[in-house]
Amino acid sequence: MSLHPTKTRIALLDQVRTGHVFRDSIGDSYISGDRKVTHAIYEMQDAGWVSLDASGPLDYWHLTDAGRELLDAQTTRYRVEFARVGRNHNVAPFGPVVSGNNHADRIAEEVHAYAGRHLGSRFYTVDVDLAAGKGFIEGGRFGTFTVTRVGVE
């Protein structure tokens, strides 16, 4: 079955990614117990985007490789908040940074340009670890920041 990645389906995949979609004992699926998504999640299972992990007391849905690729390929928005840049501990957050396939590199480029306003040097590197939601300017020597996913375009 071929399924078109609509905004609603991408948002549901994002909820699956964060571990908020489960199946109850009678076979209905919910997002954190609030919204029933049984039909949509079974469509995604038929398309090969999600799979069910029935190893715990509740059965949680997880992304398959195909679902992860689909979610990563979508244009995503991120917000960056700085703990500090250089000696300045009061740097305004910025965002949304809109990225495509290579999220970490796109965010690093934006942070490099933004942090340059607060640093005397133009020769520094920016590293982004999206899994941890953190980033470092020159290994933390020139600053640190957090990266938060705020949605899908």
Half-sphere exposure of 65 toward its Cβ, with a 13 Å CA cutoff? 0
Are the CB atoms for 140 and 108 separated by under 8 Å?
no
- Summarised one tens digit per residue, pLDDT across range 18-33 is 888 888 877 888 887 6
Give the mean pLDDT of 69-84: 84
The CA distance from 108 to 50, in Å, is 30
pLDDT over threshold 80, residue 67: yes
- Give residue 146's pLDDT: 94
Six token digits for residue 99 = 């990225």
Alpha-carbon distances of 111 from 28, 40, 41, 115, rounded to whole Å: 43, 37, 36, 6
| Whole-number percent of the chain with pLDDT over 90 | 30
pLDDT over threshold 60, residue 153: no
Q: Which CATH class is domain 7-73?
A: mainly alpha
pLDDT over threshold 90, residue 152: no
Measured at the alpha carbon of residue 42, what is the angle toward residues 56 and 33, in degrees to the nearest 5? 55
pTM above 0.85, yes or no: no
Provide CATH 1.10.10 ranges for the chain: 7-73
